[in-house]
Amino acid sequence: MIKKFLVIITLTTLFTGCSEDFLSQTDPNAVAAKDYFQSENDVLLAVNGVYQSLRSSNNIGENSGLYTDERSDDAGRNDNQSNAGEPFQFNDFSILPSNTYLKSHWLSLYQTITRCNQVTSNIDKVTFVVPANKDQYNAEVKFIRALTYFHLVRKWGDVPLITKQLNTTGEIASNTFREKKEKVYEQIVADLKEAVSSGLPNQQPLTGKGRVSKAAANALLGQVYLTMATTLDQGNRTTNLNNAKTYLKAAYDMRAFGNLKEIPYADVFDVNKKSTNAEIIFQIVNKQGDLNYSSSIAANNQAKGETINSLKPSSGVGGNVKADLVKEYEDNDLRKDFSIKYANDASVKDWYITKFRDASAAAGTSGYGGNDWPLLRYADVILMLAEVNLYLGDEASAIQYLNLVRERANMPNYQTSLNNENYSKKFPTLKLAILHERRVELAFEHHRWFDLLRFFTSAELVTYMQAKSQADYGTAKVSNFGTKDYYFPIPFDEYKLNPEKMYQNPGY
């Protein structure tokens, strides 16, 4: 559990649209990065600060679904009034460049990158008592920088690419421009290859839960190559697919279990088994009952009149689940019964999320849960292996991987399911069957939007989304979806810094 963290105040408050006078001010209680790094422990605390930054709801923590799940067809909100107006824009596909939530997300991601760059720019100045620690800390930070840029490039396309500590307003100004997404991916791959070739353990021991492992680096690099194969220049498609297969298989071969079916689905999210659950590859660790480091996802998704998630009383709807997703679950799919439930309170009659639970006395009526937030797990890796093998023309292997996940869920295998008229009508191709399996297996884990981007071109995605029934989508208008929605708009405050170099995405 990472409990200590560091915030270093420097001139690297990137892309905030602040004046030079503001940037010139200093905090008398802060330590400048150039003066901070004196010992091995200083580096460790800075690395812990990098991990800590991921926890925020404005970053990629458990409550960041606004930027992923609510951008997709899985979840959203029906309240478009008052303070809910800006969040509603995400699922309504009516988001404005001035949206303050969008700006907060952008800034939080770049703050994480700033922390990473502070470590990588200063680590060589420190003498390490244990030389292996230097390699490990560097690998951890490079992984997180790659992960953060992976979020940025998929959400915005071309983005500013910063890989060093910026110390002056002049350096900041010269780096305020959008780099082509292909260059961003090159940096992501370079960082992850360093992590893969480092001395990181294949799997972190219990004392290192929440820290990067070699399995995590391989899994993420495989996902990156798969995304490059499906979204970038198709001239490199086959090479990228083969690279994806290599690294995903390497991650899979590092697993500490035999078959996926050995790990019950409910155990993946069981607070009492989180420390021993071998399926989780990389997670944000939370501490039950702790005011600052507990999880709130169970309580936040508790519908009024319900107690399955948390002992904290709720007056809300528990996170709106789209009927479109509810109807996609097959009959007798245990993942549906575990993941969602219909709230039948007098004031709340709607489906809500039950996948993340901590109704223990230790979490209490304040809802200070112990749920860890899984960022990578093996079912995800297995389904990506199914996807990459499909694209490489090996349908037999793709089906084998797909069936591993269906077997764990006690569902008929793919070949048998094709005899079910309802299944074969909904998922007439193996590609759509894999996309379906990812949707129901990984629901609400912030994967769905990225899956849609990977499975469809922008034009295909418009057709896919607009074919959905408005009645199954809620108050937000699915008909608003267009090619512009493949990317977020560049936040207005960032665009106005340099309208030429921070050019806006099409349609905004």
CATH no. for residue 46?
A: 1.25.40.390
- Residue numbers of the domain that contains 325: 286-371
- Kindly provide the residue ranges of all beta strands, DSSP E only, lying in 318-418, ordered along the sequence: 320-321, 340-344, 349-353, 373-377
Instruction: Give the pLDDT confidence score for residue 27 in this predicted structure.
Output: 52
Q: Is residue 9 part of a domain?
A: yes
Mean pLDDT of the chain: 93
If residue 284 lies in a helix (H) or strand (E), which one and from where to where?
strand 280-284
Q: Is residue 212 part of a domain?
A: no
Question: Which residue has tokens 């490079």?
Answer: 142
Instruction: Give the pLDDT confidence score for residue 318 in this predicted structure.
Output: 82
- Cα(232)–Cα(105) distance, integer angstroms: 24
Mean pLDDT along residues 106-119:
98
Q: Is residue 328 part of a domain?
A: yes
Taking alpha carbons only, the member of 427, 421, 289, 420 closest to residue 358 is 289
Do 151 and 295 have their domain in common?
no
Instruction: Give the pLDDT confidence score for residue 416 in this predicted structure.
Output: 98
Query: Pick from 324, 348, 371: which residue ends a domain?
Result: 371
Range name among 77-86, 338-347, 385-394 with the lowest pLDDT average: 77-86
Mean pLDDT along residues 102-115:
98
User: What is the count of structural domains for the chain?
Assistant: 2
pTM: 0.94
Q: What phi, psi does 340 have (nearest 5°)? A: -140, 155
Q: Strands 340-344 and 280-284, how do they pair?
A: unpaired
How far is CA 130 from each of CA 1, 5, 40, 120, 450, rounded to the nearest angstrom?
A: 21, 21, 8, 17, 39
User: In which band, very low, low, confident or very high, does the pLDDT at 31 lie, cut at 50, 70 and 90?
Assistant: low
* Polymer length of the chain: 508
In the predicted model, is pLDDT for residue 284 greater than 70? yes
Query: Pick from 371, 392, 410: which residue ends a domain?
Result: 371
Instruction: Give the pLDDT confidence score for residue 79 in this predicted structure.
Output: 77
Q: Is residue 429 part of a domain?
A: no
Taking alpha carbons only, the member of 42, 57, 40 closest to residue 284 is 57
- Cα(158)–Cα(326) distance, integer angstroms: 35
Instruction: Give the pLDDT confidence score for residue 502 in this predicted structure.
Output: 98
User: In which band, very low, low, confident or very high, does the pLDDT at 78 lie, cut at 50, 70 and 90?
Assistant: confident
Query: Pick from 322, 337, 371: which residue ends a domain?
Result: 371
**Please, where are the H alpha helices in 301-394?**
323-326, 334-339, 378-391
Q: Is residue 172 part of a domain?
A: yes
